[in-house]
Structure 1
Amino acid sequence: MPPYAGPAAARPGEIAGTLRLLAYLAAAFALIVLDHRGGWLSNTRQQAQVFVQPLWSVAGWPGKVVDSISDDAGTRSSLMAENRRLRNELLVSGARMARLQAASADNDRLRSMLGVVKRGGLDVQLARILDIDLDPVKQRLVLDAGSGDGVRVGQVVIDAGGVVGQVIAVTPMHSTALLLTDPDHAVPVAVLRNGVRLVAYGSGRSDRLSLASIPLSSDVKVGDVVVTSGLGDRFPAGFPVGTISALRPDESRAFLVGDVTPAAQLDRGRDVLLLRSAPARPVIGPVAESTSLLPVSASVAAPATATLPASAATRVQRP
């Protein structure tokens, strides 16, 4: 067992520690005074910051990466939402533009028909097209007007261009019109330029009528306008039917056959006009200056109540 040293044995170590502490404090105080007066440590600090700056940058990378990812995610989310909103607005604007264009086209067609009515002083009524059948063997229009609206069998259907067809069936609410281009339909016509009388037959195509048995000696040319002749008392005289687009010999070489482009827009439009009463008979011949020989008289009148028998619809057999 070691001998007991007593309190005096610890004093030399304590004195040495106290002296070292005092020396450190004196050195620190001296450095503070020298730096405050001479500023010689500021350069050392600046140089140390140059070496430490990359370490700070490396230490700050994780935070920067996290902030960048967060910002990118928020920006992408907002951009996607903005794109969805703009896409929806574009679709809505496109739909509105399409409706406006359709309404503008309808207004133009109605304005054209109104011009025909005013120039010709026709007694007509407007009917909306509910359905159209352009089958090669059956070409019909279903109209949103029937006997309750004064429609009768045999009424002529026209548009701004010319003759469309004729009413062949009527119900209280609706009516059916036979188009000029129906294979079972024929209409007596005359060449506007010289009055040559012909018959235009339906071809089953909405863009073509047929002329048959044209005498070789007749003065008929491509580009001639044909109008209703008024024969048969089915179609009033002078309404445009179409323009001759082609002429060629038939199989016997004794006659010509021709193609006629219809004046009416049979495959488009939403409305047609039903002629209530026949206008005064116009003069057909070279004195006419336009394809429209419609007489100039009164304006649109009240609905007619007279009806015609079902046989009034024009169905002319081919020769």
Structure 2
Amino acid sequence: MAALKPSKRVRHLFIVNPTATLQLGLWVALSMVVMTVDHRYHTLGGVHDVLSTVIYPLHYLTRLPTDARNWANENLAGRTTLLEENARLRESQVFFNAQLQKLTTLEAENRRLRSLLESAVNAPERVLIAELLAVDFDPYRHHILLNRGRQHGITVGQPVIDQHGIIGQIIRADPFTATAILITDPNHALPIQINRTGARTLARGTGNFQELELPHIPNNEDVKIGDLLVTSGLGGRFPPGYPVGTISKVEFDPGSPFARIIARPVAQLDRIREVMLLENEPIATPPAVAGTATTPPP
């Protein structure tokens, strides 16, 4: 077979052109000179800015597919992550809210116990702290059940107080529990005296947690709204000087020898949770005075 002859165009590629070689050398030399001058003297800064501005769209178009893929991955994956994180935060918020409610309850209980302990320190008598187990919901029967009984030294007639004042007295003592009658029970009467004047009378329950009735006070007696009522100590059951209530209403009736006087108990009888029982010795008083000063519990 005869050898194939290369075409003119192919042969032209392998022909050495001295002129082209010289031009290439000149351009290379010029490029080196320009790079050296720019490197040392920074004379082509403006040219760089122009070239960067012209080339920037090309760079942007080149990065566009990669940036679009990263944006899609971040947003889709980020949304899923945010939803999961929101769910976790919501669960954590519910948990911490529940814990906060418990802490709030404990804080309120600590305040009540601190007040009771401060009252116990200030009281000259020995005291025993008890908690409520049950409350009688009969509106005219104000009884409470306590978690202390005869095994703890509780006796019938023992005074019951809180951090504010008198609450009532024990009317029944079982081995491990005790029942107390509140001073607002209609069947309870407490010997008291007006702290400002010293006038003595009884504070009878009305069946209302917010009211005590003071009978047998003459119309001409010096009684004012806001006067403090304290235990008189008569009857030998309640020690003297404990707050009972404050006078909230005074009505003088010309047709009656006695005024109508209403007092408000200082203790929050409808909100108590812990009480103190006084372990004081009975006060020695004449039998006649003790018999007329108080009404025996039912």
Instruction: Confirm or deny a common fold (TM above 0.5).
Output: yes
CA contact (8 A) 1:234 1:314 kept: no
**Per-residue deviation at 1:163?**
0.8
Quickly say closer, same or farther: Cα 1:36–1:147, change in 2 above 3 A: farther
Query: Which whole-Å CA distance do the structure 2 matches of 1:36 and 1:245 have between them?
Result: 116
Question: Partner of 1:138: helix, strand, or coil?
Answer: coil
Q: Distance in 1 between matches of 2:19 and 2:202?
A: 128
| Separation (CA, whole Å) in 1 of partners of 2:17 and 2:142 | 113
Q: Whose relative contact order is higher, 1 or 2, with alpha carbons under 8 Å and at least 6 apart?
A: 1
Q: Among 27, 30, 39, which residue is 1:38 paired with? A: 27
For 1:200 and 1:18, the matched residues in 2 are separated by 134
Match of 2:181 in 1: 178
**8 Å contact 2:187–2:297 — kept in the other structure?**
no
Secondary structure of the corresponding residue to residue 142 of structure 2:
strand
Paired AA for residue 275 in structure 2: V
Residue of structure 1 in register with 2:45 after alignment: none
60-69 or 81-90, which deviates more: 81-90
What one-letter code is carried by the residue in structure 2 that aligns with 1:175? A
Q: Are 1:150 and 2:153 counterparts?
A: yes
Cα distance in 2 for partners of 1:239, 1:179 equals 15
What letter is aligned with 1:149? H
Q: Distance in 2 between matches of 1:214 and 1:23?
A: 139
Which residue matches 2:297?
A: 314
Paired residues for 1:1-319 under 5 Å:
15=5, 18-24=7-13, 34-35=23-24, 37-38=26-27, 54=57, 57-58=60-61, 60-133=63-136, 136-249=139-252, 252=255, 254-278=257-281, 280=283, 314=297
Describe the SS at the equivalent of 1:116: helix
Distance change in 2, residues 1:69/1:194 (3 Å): same
Judge which range, 175-184 or 25-34, deviates more. 25-34
Contact 2:237 2:282 in 1 (8 A): no
Kindly state the Cα deviation for residue 71 of structure 1 after the two structures are TM-superposed. Answer: 1.6
Determine the C-alpha separation between the residues in 1 that align with 2:177 and 2:18.
113
Partner SS state of residue 255, structure 1: coil
CA distance in 2, matches of 1:209, 1:35: 119
Q: 1 CA distance for matches of 2:267 and 2:102?
A: 24
SS of aligned partner of 1:181: coil
Q: Say which is worse superposed, 252-261 or 193-202, in terms of deviation.
A: 252-261
Give a deviation string over 1:262-310, Cα, whole Å, max 9, x none.
122323343211123346579xxxxxxxxxxxxxxxxxxxxxxxxxxxx
Deviations 1:130-157 (A, max 9, x none): 2334653332222111222222332211
Contact residue 236 and residue 283 of structure 2 kept, 8 A: no
Measured after TM superposition, the shift of residue 32 of structure 1 is: 8.0
Q: What's the secondary structure of 2:261's corresponding residue?
A: strand
Q: Percent identity?
A: 35
Change (3 A) 1:54 1:102: same
CA distance in 2, matches of 1:196, 1:189: 8
The amino acid of 2:11's aligned partner reads L
TM (norm. structure 2) is 0.71
Cα contact 1:153–1:313 (8 A) shared by 2? no
Distance between the aligned counterparts of 2:93 and 2:172, measured in 1? 46
How far off its partner does 1:129 sit? 1.7
Equivalent residues of 1:156, 1:235 under 8 A apart: yes
Q: TM-score, normalised to structure 1's length?
A: 0.67
- Measured after TM superposition, the shift of residue 67 of structure 1 is 1.3
Unaligned residue ranges in structure 1 (runs of 5+) = 1-6, 42-46, 283-311
Alpha-carbon distance, 1:19 to partner? 1.2
Q: Does structure 1 retain, via aligned residues, the 8 Å contact 2:236–2:282? A: no
Aligned alpha-carbon RMSD (Å): 4.0
Q: For residues 186 and 280 of structure 1, do their structure 2 counterparts lie closer, same or farther at Cα, with a shift above 3 Å needed?
A: closer
Per the alignment, residue 293 of structure 1 pairs with: none
Query: Which whole-Å CA distance do the structure 1 matches of 2:233 and 2:265 have between them?
Result: 18
> Partner amino acid for 1:314?
P
